[in-house]
Amino acid sequence: MPKFDYDLNYAELDLRAHPELYRVGRGEQGVLLAQPYKSEILPHWRFATPDVARESSEAIFALFEKYLDDGDFVGADMARKFLQMGFTRARRYANHKGGKKYDGPVPGDRKGQSGAHGRAELPRQPEDPVKAQSARIFKAKWDEAEANEEYTRLKKEHHTKYG
């Protein structure tokens, strides 16, 4: 999979108008950058409690399906990334009170890199069952998105057409 291009000016780039510039990348890359999708999806993204996570994941999944109906792979992939991020962030809070996983400040340059950047992982706390349930709710919707045949077809088509 081609790397997500962090060098584009996402603040001024409309990826709905220019899907050829979008690269899936790995994991959640670009989830908080790609417009107009960030602005459309982010207001729905919450995971504080299972009820909130259920409402949030269902709203985001509805956007995922709308993007698919519109033939908008970039939008569908961004919605999928928000579902993934709901899972990963809820898991982080389930394992680490306050959501802080690593010791020290967050590195300034995160272009395409992943992991702790040499920082030590903080000890895990006893699992927070509320956040763990929120994570399971998001994981189920993320899995449903990943298994969607139309999403898979559009992803292959996008990769073939744009690299």
Summarised one tens digit per residue, pLDDT across range 15-50 is 999 999 999 999 999 999 999 999 999 999 999 999
Please compute the mean of the pLDDT values over residues 133-150 and round it to a whole number: 98
Q: Has residue 124 been placed in a domain?
A: no
Q: Has residue 3 been placed in a domain?
A: no
Residue 30 belongs to domain spanning: 19-101+129-162
DSSP structure class, residue 33 = T
Q: Has residue 58 been placed in a domain?
A: yes
Q: Has residue 154 been placed in a domain?
A: yes
Which residue did the predictor score with more confidence, 108 or 130?
130
Which residue did the predictor score with more confidence, 100 or 37?
37
Q: Has residue 1 been placed in a domain?
A: no
Query: What is the C-alpha separation between 107 and 36, in angstroms, rounded?
Result: 26
Kindly indicate the confidence band of residue 123, based on its pLDDT and cuts at 50, 70 and 90.
confident
Q: Has residue 109 been placed in a domain?
A: no
Q: Note every long-range contact of 125-129, with CB atoms under 8 Å and residues 24 or more positions apart, other chains counting.
A: 125/95, 125/96, 125/97, 127/94, 127/95, 128/93, 128/94, 128/95, 128/97, 129/94
Tokens of 152: 């898979």
Residue 75: name the closest of 38, 118, 32, 117 by CA.
38
Handedness of CA 150, 158, 64, 100 (dihedral sign): positive
Kindly indicate the confidence band of residue 81, based on its pLDDT and cuts at 50, 70 and 90.
very high
Counted residue by residue, the chain has a size of 163
Handedness of CA 5, 43, 84, 160 (dihedral sign): negative
Q: Has residue 106 been placed in a domain?
A: no
Q: Has residue 9 been placed in a domain?
A: no
- Most confident range (mean pLDDT) of 3-12, 92-101, 108-117, 144-153 is 144-153
User: How many separate domains does the chain show?
Assistant: 1
Query: What is the C-alpha separation between 47 and 124, in angstroms, rounded?
Result: 19
Non-local (6+) Cβ contacts of 9 within 8 A are none
Task: Say if residue 107's pLDDT is above 80.
Answer: no
> What is the Cβ-side half-sphere exposure of residue 121, based on CA atoms within 13 angstroms?
8
